[in-house]
Amino acid sequence: MKKKNAIIIAVVMLLTAAIIGGIVMLAILGFNLFGRKPDSLFPYDAALSSGYTGTETDYLASQDTPSTRERKCYEDAVASGAFSGTYLEFLQQFSSTGVDDSIAVNEAFTSVVCIESAFSGSYSRGSGIIYSLDKTAGTAYIITNYHVVCSSYGMARSISVYLYGEYGTNPISATFYGGVMDYDIAVLKVTNATAFKETDTNRVYAQAVTVADSDSVTVGERVYALGNPNGEGFSVTGGVVSVLSEYVTVLRADERAQISLPEIRTDAAVNHGNSGGGLFNAEGELVGIVNARAEYADPDKKTIPLYGFGYAIPANLAVSIAQNVIDNDGRAVVARLGITVSVYDSKGIYDEERSKYYVQEKIVVESVTSGSAASGLRRTDTLLSARLVQGGKEKTVELTLRVMLHALLYEVRQGDVLELTYSRDNDIQTLSISFNASNFEAVG
C-alpha cells in the first residue's frame, strides 16, 4: 500500500478510518514524535522486573494460545512430559498423515449466516456469524460489519438472515441492535425465530460460534473465509494468515469519512458479500470478521483487485465490541482513558523451539488530557501491561500489540479497576484507575 495509486477500500463493502474507538488515536511510526526519545523498555522487561525468569521467547509463548490442533497436541505433550523437543521434531515424529480440515469447516457453517439488507431503492448482501444463541427462546445475536446494514442511504429498512442450505428460501427477520461504525462492527438481534429453537428438528442446526484468541494467530497457519461472496449463497475459500496485525484505511459505512482499522491479512479469496462473515482457523474457531480486500486504482480510476490481500477484524476486538453492545442494551459504551498513543518501535523475535515468529510493539503515550482518567500518565510513557479487575474476576493483558488496548477498553464496565503498568525513563510504575460514569462515552 506504499506504492503510488494503491489504495485500500472495503470492496467487501466500502469503509476506512483513523480509529478513535476506545481513546486511542493512531500516529506515524518509526521516528521521534515527542522531541525526546522514549525509553528502551518493552513488555518483557516489565515481566523481568516483576520476577519473571524465563527467556523472551518463553515469555511471549506464555501469552500465546495454540491455534492449531497440531500445536495444541505439542503443547499438551510437552506439559505432560510425554515429549521433549522442538515443535518441528514433534511434527516429524507424529504427523505422518494429513489432517482433514473439512470437519471443522462444516461445523463452522452452523455458526454462519447470509444477510440481505434492504435500503431505499437498493439492497446489499453480506454475511454474519451467530455470536450468542438461546435455543429455548429462539433468540440470537449476530455479528456482522456495520457497512452490511448501513450505507450512505442510512440504516437498512429491513434485514433478513439465512442459515446454511436455506439461502433465498427461508428468511429470518433480524433487527439492527447496535454497533460501532468506526470499527465496522454491528450486532443484529433475532427474536423468537422458529429456525433457532432447539425443539424444531426439521430445520437446519445452528449454534453459537467458538471464538479463538486472535492475538495468538500464527503467520502461515491455515484459515478459511466462510460467507456469502457475490451474494450468491454460502461458500468457503481457504488460505493462510499473511500478516498478523496491520492497519488499513477504508471508507466508513456512511461514506462520510475514512477510518483506520486493525486487521489480520489473509490470502483466502475475499469478495463482495463476504463482509461480516467469519475467518476461521483449522479448528473451526473464529479468528476474525472479514470486512475488506485491497484494490489497485489506476490513473483512469479503474479498480482492480489485488489478489491475496483480504482483511478481517481480529475476533478479540469484534467480540469485545459485540459483548459491550449486548451488555449495554444496544449501545456501545467505551471506557475513555483520555490519552492518545502511537507505536514508536517494534521488534520481531523468532522462537526456534516453537517455530514461531512473535512481534512486540512499543506503545507510547503521545498526549494526555488534563483531568482525564489516565491523567497520571505523561507524554513518552511506554505502556507495558494492563490488569482489569471486575468484581471477583481479574484479567491481565501484556500489551505487545496496540490492538490489545483497543479491545480491552470495550471490556471495561462501570466500577471496574484498570491497573496500567508503564515505564518512564526506564523506571517501571503502575497507575490504578477506578472507572465511574464520567469515564465512559456512548459511541455508535
Query: How is 405-436 classified by DSSP, letter by letter?
Result: HHHHHHH--TT-EEEEEEEETTEEEEEEEE--
Supply the DSSP symbol for 99.
-
For 79, the grid coordinates are 506439559
Alpha carbons 246 and 374: distance in angstroms, whole number: 26
Contacts with 204 (C-beta within 8 Å, 6 or more apart), sequence order: 110, 163, 164, 165, 166, 195
The pLDDT tens digits of the residues spanning 99-135 come to 678 888 999 999 999 999 999 888 889 999 999 999 9
Identify the residue with better confidence: 3 or 85.
85
pLDDT at 300 over 80: no
DSSP, collapsed to helix, strand or coil, labels residue 120 as: coil
Q: Do 253 and 260 contact (CB within 8 A), yes or no? A: no
- Structure confidence at residue 282 (pLDDT): 92
- Structure confidence at residue 1 (pLDDT): 33
Alpha carbons 237 and 229: distance in angstroms, whole number: 10
Model confidence at 253, pLDDT cuts 50, 70, 90, reads: very high
Q: Give CA angle at 316 (334, 379), nearest 5°.
A: 55
The pLDDT tens digits of the residues spanning 43-62 come to 888 888 888 888 888 888 88
- Structure confidence at residue 85 (pLDDT): 84
pLDDT at 15 over 70: no
pLDDT at 303 over 90: no
pLDDT at 26 over 70: no
- Structure confidence at residue 200 (pLDDT): 53
Q: What is the DSSP string of 199-240?
A: T-TTS----PPPBP-GGG--TT-EEEEEE-GGGSS-EEEEEE
Alpha carbons 245 and 344: distance in angstroms, whole number: 15
pLDDT at 284 over 90: yes
Weakest-pLDDT range from 75-79, 261-265, 289-293, 300-304 = 300-304
- Structure confidence at residue 59 (pLDDT): 85
State mean pLDDT over 286-313. 83
pLDDT at 256 over 50: yes
Instruction: Return the number of other C-beta atoms located less than 10 Å from residue 244's C-beta.
Output: 21
For 276, the grid coordinates are 461480516
State mean pLDDT over 323-339. 96
- Structure confidence at residue 72 (pLDDT): 81
Instruction: Return the number of other C-beta atoms located less than 10 Å from residue 298's C-beta.
Output: 9
- Structure confidence at residue 219 (pLDDT): 94
State mean pLDDT over 368-376. 94
Alpha carbons 340 and 367: distance in angstroms, whole number: 5
pLDDT at 305 over 80: no
Q: For 95-227, where are the alpha helices, taking DSSP H only?
A: 102-108, 146-149
Contacts with 355 (C-beta within 8 Å, 6 or more apart), sequence order: 86, 87, 88
Alpha carbons 101 and 70: distance in angstroms, whole number: 12
pLDDT, averaged across the chain: 86
As a whole-number percent, the residues of the chain with pLDDT over 90 amount to 64
- Structure confidence at residue 96 (pLDDT): 55
- Structure confidence at residue 153 (pLDDT): 86
Q: Do 244 and 230 contact (CB within 8 A), yes or no? A: no
Weakest-pLDDT range from 201-210, 222-231, 327-336, 338-347 = 201-210
